[in-house]
Amino acid sequence: MSNEIITGRCLCGKISYRVTGPQIWSGYCHCESCRRFSGAVVTNWLGIRDTDLVFDHAQPRIYQSRDVKRGFCPGCGSSLTYQAERFPDYIQLHVGTLDEPARIKPQDHVHYADKVDWFEVTDCLPRFDDSAADDNNDWMNR
């Protein structure tokens, strides 16, 4: 993905946003936490630096569990963001909330060990049993 500005919004349109910087990561997550928050058996994320995310009007409401903050629209309930304390300068957006989700191509599968058994993955993307991030966060500096 280039540095073109991308946009997105929640279902009701109360919360809209712009991404003004480059993509760091995109991929599928199979973890239980993402399943429960999204209501889907797998989620698709776009990872960016948090300083590259601009909300145009309203801010998402934040739900915090353990060391993770998840943003959602208080009006329609759309899940929008994910931010982990271990990556303080990084935030992820649900690809399904982008105005042009087809522009974001996933790079891999994370938390693949938590995948729902009946969900068949047929792509050739790399699969990681847990997070694709290493202890030094080198993946964020690509």
Residue 16 · residue 94 · CB < 8 Å: no
In this prediction, residue 139 carries a pLDDT of: 46
Distance CA 11, CA 106 (A): 22
Q: Residue 3: what pLDDT?
A: 66
pLDDT by residue for the chain (142 residues), tens only, comes to: 456 899 999 999 999 999 999 999 999 999 999 999 999 999 999 999 999 999 998 999 999 988 899 999 999 999 999 999 989 899 999 999 999 999 999 999 999 999 999 999 999 999 999 886 555 444 454 3
Asked if the 6-124 domain carries CATH number 1.10.3980.10, the reply is no
Contact present, 15 and 58 (Cβ < 8 Å): yes
